[in-house]
Structure 1
């Protein structure tokens, strides 16, 4: 979950991108930024490190994201100037969420014990479209073996937990109540 500061930066970036009619380009940039930061433990450590100079962080990020838009490069500059560069991943995550919301796209987060099959993914898409009334739905599948089986579906602030771990937990609570 992004911080309030990251959300504020993301709103400002989205507004700037909308004014320049490049919101979709910046959306692609932010997906790239988020995936890069989430995929690299070393990069996250460098961004959070008080030992690494802000200018060094900025130089590294500008090199990593040199093919991105000027809006994205400007965001890196502003975050560096304001000593908030560690928020970059959160800003990217918030921007993606805000952009999807502005486009009417619903994001369904599905947590399963194994990867979703194409048939199950189609079934989940249809169910989410029925529940939300939105024709634009994307699915993000997270694999968590601790749920044992079944799935956990989150769309916005709605959650449906049909995991085996949840059902076993309910049975355990019922047994402990009856003792």
Structure 2
């Protein structure tokens, strides 16, 4: 099973339990804290993915680091550690946040561009996405200089690649197949 699918299943199970316990937003705050902490701390990522450390050592480190977290969050750490899946904690947190946003009627769209979007273009993209989806959309801009130009738009599971590098790759595949 791919990491993405496994992370989604853990996040969905966590969401279901949080709904059952009426604790969805508190767990969401924990998941945002977990995600931010992992993203800002490369050594924590190394610890979580280390084949040398045991699952219980990783679990202990997480519980010490997030000692004020919800009981469901601690149980997630336990479950991931016992299933030898603690390395996907970041992805689980991301998936939970996405599920939470969808539950709140928000859609998260990511626009990957070679240079940062200006405010006018960002506003136009947001307006168009909200018209199409009928939902409130949050737009995130990621920078990837390898795109050369154009953009890649990701909304949920959909991806639209209008980048120069994407078009060049498509052309290359077409030329090689003939």
CA distance in 2, matches of 1:132, 1:4: 24
The answer for the alignment partner of 1:76 in structure 2 is: 77
How many pairs are equivalent? 176
Q: TM-score, normalised by structure 1?
A: 0.83
Query: Contact 1:2/1:93 (CA < 8 Å) preserved in 2?
Result: no
What SS does structure 2 have at the residue aligned with 1:3?
helix
What SS does structure 1 have at the residue aligned with 2:142?
strand
1:27 aligns with 2:6: no
CA distance in 1, matches of 2:170, 2:13: 44
1:53-73 Cα offsets, whole Å, 9 max, x none, are: 222211211122223222212
Q: Which ranges of 4 or more aligned residues in structure 1 deviate by more than 4 Å?
A: 167-174
What SS does structure 1 have at the residue aligned with 2:27?
helix
1:52 aligns with 2:53: yes
Q: Structure 1 residues 76, 172: CA separation in 2 closer, same or farther (over 3 Å shift)?
A: closer
93-102 or 122-131, which moves further after superposition?
A: 93-102
The answer for the alignment partner of 1:150 in structure 2 is: 150
118-127 or 159-168, which moves further after superposition?
A: 159-168
Q: TM-score, normalised by structure 2?
A: 0.84
Instruction: Compute the RMSD of aligned alpha carbons.
Output: 2.5
CA distance in 1, matches of 2:28, 2:3: 17
- Unmatched tracts of structure 2, length 5 or more: none
1:40 aligns with 2:41: yes
Q: Structure 1 residues 50, 167: CA separation in 2 closer, same or farther (over 3 Å shift)?
A: closer
Pairing of 1:20-169 with structure 2 (within 5 A): 20-134=21-135, 136-167=136-167
Query: Contact 1:147/1:164 (CA < 8 Å) preserved in 2?
Result: yes
CA distance in 2, matches of 1:18, 1:142: 32
162-171 or 39-48, which moves further after superposition?
A: 162-171
Once the two structures are TM-superposed, the CA of residue 172 in structure 1 deviates from its matched residue by 6.9
What SS does structure 2 have at the residue aligned with 1:121?
helix
Once the two structures are TM-superposed, the CA of residue 76 in structure 1 deviates from its matched residue by 0.9
What SS does structure 1 have at the residue aligned with 2:75?
helix
1:47-93 Cα offsets, whole Å, 9 max, x none, are: 12221122221121112222322221221122223332222122112
Once the two structures are TM-superposed, the CA of residue 124 in structure 1 deviates from its matched residue by 1.2
Query: Contact 1:26/1:69 (CA < 8 Å) preserved in 2?
Result: yes
CA distance in 2, matches of 1:141, 1:2: 24
